[in-house]
Structure 1
Amino acid sequence: MSEEICENIKKVTDRIAQACSRAGRHPEGVQLVAVSKLKPLQDIKTAFGCGQLHFGENRARELQDKMEAYDEDRVQWHMVGNLQTNKIKYMVERVNWIHSIEKKKYLREIEKRASRIDRVINTLVQINISGEDQKSGCTAGDVKEILEYAQGLQHVRVRGLMGMATFVDPDQAEQVRPQFQMLRRIRDEHRSYESGNVRLEHLSMGMTNDMEVAIEEGSTMVRVGRAIFGERNYE
């Protein structure tokens, strides 16, 4: 399985490079976040051995357990799933990125917790670009208030936006291009709020089936699970 994970990472990085070439971008401008949801810690260690440094988790408890069990300072941990205020205290000591900020109260809690241990945590504002009720995220109209609040924080950096497109098969990825275009447009429309700890350089968008389209539309982070670790067992 270890050789398979390494080969999968190479295939994904090749896909990233090809998409960047078509878009006239440099592959170094796109960060691969390997999402290891429901996969054993050994798979993360294997991927790390292949040179992968950024790992994402969807569930706060699973993220906490893996961060505590794997004391490797070079790993960058990303929380990419739904956030709950009462779970933030369990991740602030190790998490490097939180992609799922949709309310000011999350920033307030992160600031409170991170200030106690003098850490600075990178965050992204999640926007519901698909319009689906089951997906989290704020609306474009909420972004201004969140960014204005973040400008005065000391231990939280807002580094950009995150969005989850409608799930499609790989051969239908073109259908979600307008959703990625929307996220980029919202980011560009809010660049005037870059002040203090607000710097909107990142767009976290694109997953296994649609990463190429996302990269063509400006993604700087792609969140990939199945193409690296295989199908998940939900039993």
Structure 2
Amino acid sequence: MSVADNLRYFENQLQGTRARLVAVTKTHPVERLQEAYDAGARLFGENKVQEMVAKQPELPADIEWHLIGHLQTNKVKYIAPFVHTIQSVDSLKLLQEIEKQAAKHTRVIECLLQFHVAEEETKSGLSLAEAEEMLQSDAYQAMRHVRVTGVMGIATNTTDEAQLRREFAELRGYFELLQTRYFAQQPAFREISMGMSSDYQLALAEGSTLIRVGSAIFGARNYGTVES
């Protein structure tokens, strides 16, 4: 099936839900991304700053770029001029750097707080206590160029559907708690980014509003052509 056919399939899957599709474009060439754009895709997710910076000028300006991989503070400046959403905020230090760089460009960058819900210790993310400490801090309260719009999480790499459901439900619980305590008067706090090619249906059932799908749209990734 073509990229366009795959996109149509996922858009049909999302009918009747409030979820949107983030086309994960890591390692795929600009030509494939243009195919997706021509088929109607507008939300593109990249894992690496270097790749996003290289591709962004080659593609239409109305693409909504989401950084979904781990982000080092010293690389925020490269994407600050154009990135729409940073889904992987896992520290106050990072959020402060996003604020600083967004201010330089007179922009507001949307951010999701990444929670650690998986069993694998290698996956990064906040605990609930860390997220609350961040949101209660004077530093966060003073920010004017970041807008926290929801939460993100990466589930365990497993075929155990019961475990995946538990982890997705845990993330939804964090979202609901933060919404009640900190964002009750802020309708922009609305996103739960969870679910990928292999588990998106379970994530949708647990309330995902952003599913991140790459290989099921673009095919297998070619890591041999991309610098790390």
> TM-score, normalization: structure 1?
0.89
The answer to whether structure 1 residue 162 and structure 2 residue 160 are counterparts is no
1:33/1:227 Cα in 2 relative to 1: closer, same or farther (>3 Å)?
same
Partner of 1:206: 195
2:142 and 2:186 mapped to 1: Cα distance?
7
Partner of 1:21: none
Partner of 2:143: 153
The answer to whether structure 1 residue 62 and structure 2 residue 62 are counterparts is no
Q: What's the offset of the Cα at 1:197?
A: 7.5
1:184 and 1:195 mapped to 2: Cα distance?
15
Over the matched positions of the two proteins, sequence identity in percent amounts to 37
Residues 55-89 of structure 1 deviation map (CA, whole Å, 9 limit, x = unaligned): 0000111011111322x221100000001000100
User: Matched residue of 1:39: which SS?
Assistant: coil
Give the aligned residue type for 1:13: E
2:208 and 2:80 mapped to 1: Cα distance?
26
Partner of 2:105: 117
Q: What's the offset of the Cα at 1:174?
A: 4.1
Matches within 5 A, 1:29-44: 29-44=18-33
Give the aligned residue type for 2:35: T
2:118 and 2:156 mapped to 1: Cα distance?
5
The answer to whether structure 1 residue 194 and structure 2 residue 194 are counterparts is no
Partner of 1:108: 96
Matches within 5 A, 1:1-235: 4-17=2-15, 26-27=16-17, 29-70=18-59, 72-149=60-137, 150-169=140-159, 172-191=160-179, 192-194=181-183, 199-235=188-224
1:51 and 1:115 mapped to 2: Cα distance?
31
Q: What's the offset of the Cα at 1:198?
A: 8.9
- Assess if the C-alpha contact under 8 Å between 1:153 and 1:197 holds in 2: no
Partner of 1:23: none
1:187 and 1:175 mapped to 2: Cα distance?
19
Q: What's the offset of the Cα at 1:98?
A: 0.3
Which runs of 5 or more residues in structure 2 are unaligned?
A: none
Q: What's the offset of the Cα at 1:190?
A: 1.6
1:198 and 1:125 mapped to 2: Cα distance?
16
Which runs of 5 or more residues in structure 1 are unaligned?
A: 18-25
Q: What's the offset of the Cα at 1:51?
A: 0.5
Residues 120-155 of structure 1 deviation map (CA, whole Å, 9 limit, x = unaligned): 110000001003111111112111022234343111
Query: How many equivalent residue pairs?
Result: 221
Q: What's the offset of the Cα at 1:186?
A: 1.1
Q: What's the offset of the Cα at 1:199?
A: 4.6
- Assess if the C-alpha contact under 8 Å between 2:14 and 2:20 holds in 1: no
- Assess if the C-alpha contact under 8 Å between 1:160 and 1:200 holds in 2: yes
Q: What's the offset of the Cα at 1:108?
A: 0.6
User: Matched residue of 2:45: which SS?
Assistant: strand
1:87/1:196 Cα in 2 relative to 1: closer, same or farther (>3 Å)?
farther
Residues 20-64 of structure 1 deviation map (CA, whole Å, 9 limit, x = unaligned): xxxxxx33x111000011000111111000001000000111011
